Structure 1
Amino acid sequence: MNNIPELIADGEITPIEAAQQLALVTSMLRQLKDSESVLRGYLTDHLDPKEHLTTALGVVSYKRGGEAKWRVKDPVAFGQWLARNGEESSVEEVLYPVEFITKPDAIEKLVRDHGGEQPDGVELSGGRADSVATSKVKAWSEVMADLTAQRQAGALLGIEQPPVGDIVEADGMGDMPVVEDNEGEDFSWDKI
């Protein structure tokens, strides 16, 4: 399997190759996520609560869900509702900052004004690093119709593939090619 971090560290991958692989990975992730969701739903409907299925690749077990439970999402709003609805004994009055002082710029000024001291109850949230976005990514069906993209996907997954000239037939499932490897075994993306 090609180790992407090593290829990048060794300077053996260009930005366009990295972009192409990122778009391919994004398409693969979408397909895998869709497949995972459907398979989970199917197995949830077909397994008994105490049943598990052991396969060569792993064990799938039924996981019992839980009932919905109430939880407090906004304590201040909940306290105000309680007070308005005759539940005064269930609330207590506390100091609460006025809205303007909770703004990031106002907190930054407070920290500066107080010698860099971080106020209680305030945290510095993690920033975000620069990144890239992928868009107009081909659907998995389009990737699978493109032999070059198929080979790249296989390489990303560490699947050895025979040379392009060894394609022998279509398998009748959406014209996906079947190739023979050096031992004569069929290779098909349907098996992944």
Structure 2
Amino acid sequence: MSRKEITTPVTAAIADGDMDVVKANTLLLAMEAYAKQLNASTKALRKYLVEHTEPNETVTTMLGESTHRRGGEAKPKVDDIAMLGSWLYDNGEEDMTDSGYILPVEEALDPKVIAMIMKKHNVTEIPGVKWASARDDSVAVSGPSWDEIISDPKLRETAANALKMTGIPQIAAGEQENGEAEEDEEAFSWETI
């Protein structure tokens, strides 16, 4: 999905000059409280998917897909090339430095090579090298935009049914192509978001 600016009834009201500070403050406070609930729920759902799927497994539904991404271990990363080169030269690793200079060769910048050198010298730190943080497994999500969900009757119904268990304001399933009843737009609580 391309990242583009999202227009909502709130952003439209602001652009049209149909907003005042009291209304803006009320909406902001309500939405901030609501966003905390959404964030807690999405965090729990991502954790659940990581715990119940295999790395690189993709779960696909009508609303899109979620893919379990494998995290990464902490690994050494060169922070100061000159300091690393100097340490290598001073500690008998001259072959890992450029001849005539105290700069490491390209190979010496590889995290796997640095880890091997650390193991060889029985050290956990080398000047000029710091450890990049480990990354936990995560979930990448790809799906339609909210506007696409609202404008497609089948997606809207699927989202409405899925959101029933959240306790958050409900969306109406909307009118089907076959002419079934649709909720009045005024009663549709998500339209103000």
TM-score for the superposition, normalised by structure 1: 0.39
